[in-house]
């Protein structure tokens, strides 16, 4: 019985010393080689790359204006899969960025201010043209991503019941951000997803703009305007690269006068005259800012990014006698240095307090 089993094993054939099959009847001089070792991180890397590709495919749409397929979301494989941000499997593309690295400016000694970062300041997003004419009621989101956490930094965010009416070419979208200075990126991604409300039923809505725009490093000290065409629109995105960047956060409090704030708050810098609209009641339509119990007014946009050697310039306008054709307006222009934090403004029918807080982006 044992001899028969031995003959059966010999007849199977085996691997010889050269890796080939041994001749029948002769046993192999070497054992079968085990399969090569595959480490766990190789399997994870393969799965991550596959998932990354699937997500990019899901975010690619056919754009009828461009007559081609267009990627509509920003992806950075290395950032999303790094241990600092968690695995790609766990990355939530819709999560808002809450990381904050800016420090109160007066706590940063002069010796450390050479370490202030390069950042990007968004000036405006303008509707240059509409393929369906005007007026249109738009809603949706415009957001950007940097390499701090690659999460959403919202610039424009309105739901369907809070549309902005665009009445003519060259009107600005009312920006509601950023909530922090975007920085530390080889590529800044801008994801645009804006729709036109078509009626009571959401099925009647149409895509106005759905695309991805980018600004790439290295960034010189410039103001760059980029035309973005997609679906039914042409937009203009204006940004400014800021070296040695600081954040200025602006607040308005009504100390006396009507609770509703009719007027505007426009910002620029001592070295760049391009306006940034922080608030404008005329553009806000029915959603005029109303003071809270403490008199504070929530501005749609509060934050401006500027260079450490620049001053902030604020143009604060108040409007009275709104009901007639002879509405009266008055404007105060403030040049705000880094040591300035509060100003009292008396403009009929208001007495206002403007506040500015400063932080360095490190």
Same domain (yes/no): 237, 265: no
pLDDT tens, position by position, 101-119: 899 999 999 999 999 999 9
Compute the C-alpha angle 113/116/118, nearest 5°. Answer: 150
Residue 105 belongs to a domain = no
Same domain (yes/no): 219, 260: no
What is the CATH classification number for the domain harbouring 252? 2.60.40
Lowest-pLDDT range, 196-200, 217-221, 334-338, 353-357?
A: 217-221
Residue 49 belongs to a domain = no
Same domain (yes/no): 315, 214: no
The percentage of the chain sitting over the pLDDT mark of 70, rounded to a whole number, equals 78
Same domain (yes/no): 295, 174: no
Same domain (yes/no): 180, 322: no
Total-model pTM: 0.82
Helices and strands (H, E) in the chain, number of each type: 4, 21
pLDDT at 83 over 80: no
Residues 187 and 212: their CA atoms lie apart, in Å, by 12
Three-class secondary structure of residue 113 per DSSP: helix
pLDDT tens, position by position, 272-290: 999 999 999 987 555 789 9
Q: List Cβ neighbours of 255 (8 Å cut-off, separation of 6 or more).
A: 295, 344, 350, 351, 352, 353
Residue 333 belongs to a domain = yes
Lowest-pLDDT range, 53-57, 128-132, 154-158, 161-165?
A: 53-57
pLDDT at 177 over 80: yes
Residues 191 and 248: their CA atoms lie apart, in Å, by 25
């Amino acid at each position: 019985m044992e001899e028969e089993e031995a003959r059966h094993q010999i007849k199977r054939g085996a691997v010889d010393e050269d890796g080939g099959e041994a001749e029948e009847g002769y046993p192999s001089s070497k054992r079968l080689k085990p399969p090569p070792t595959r480490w766990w991180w190789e399997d994870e890397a393969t799965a991550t790359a596959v998932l990354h590709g699937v997500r990019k495919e899901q975010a690619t749409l056919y754009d009828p204006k461009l007559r081609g397929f267009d990627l509509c979301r920003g992806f950075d494989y290395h950032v999303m899969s790094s241990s600092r941000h968690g695995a790609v499997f766990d990355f939530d593309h819709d999560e808002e960025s809450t990381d904050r690295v800016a420090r109160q400016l007066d706590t940063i000694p002069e010796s450390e201010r050479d370490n202030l970062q390069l950042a990007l300041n968004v000036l405006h997003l303008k509707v240059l043209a509409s393929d369906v004419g005007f007026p249109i009621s738009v809603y949706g989101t415009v957001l950007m991503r940097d390499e701090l956490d690659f999460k959403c930094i919202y610039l424009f965010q309105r739901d369907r019941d809070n549309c902005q009416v665009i009445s003519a070419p060259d009107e600005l979208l009312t920006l509601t951000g950023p909530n922090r200075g975007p920085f530390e990126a080889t590529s800044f991604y801008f994801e645009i997803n804006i729709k036109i409300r078509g009626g009571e039923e959401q099925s009647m809505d149409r895509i106005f703009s759905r695309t991805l725009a980018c600004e790439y490093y290295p960034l010189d000290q410039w103001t760059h305007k980029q035309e973005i065409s997609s679906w039914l629109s042409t937009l203009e995105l204006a940004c400014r690269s800021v070296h040695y960047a600081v954040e200025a956060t602006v607040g308005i409090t009504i100390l006396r006068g009507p609770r509703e704030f009719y007027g505007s708050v426009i910002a620029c810098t001592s070295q760049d005259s391009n306006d940034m609209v922080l608030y404008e009641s005329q553009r806000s339509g029915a959603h005029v800012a109303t003071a809270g119990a403490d008199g504070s007014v929530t501005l749609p946009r509060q934050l401006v990014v500027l260079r450490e050697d620049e001053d902030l310039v604020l143009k604060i306008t108040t409007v009275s006698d709104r009901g007639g054709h002879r509405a009266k307006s008055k404007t105060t222009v403030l040049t705000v240095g880094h040591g300035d934090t509060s100003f009292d403004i008396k403009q009929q029918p208001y007495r206002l307090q403007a506040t500015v807080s400063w932080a360095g982006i490190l």
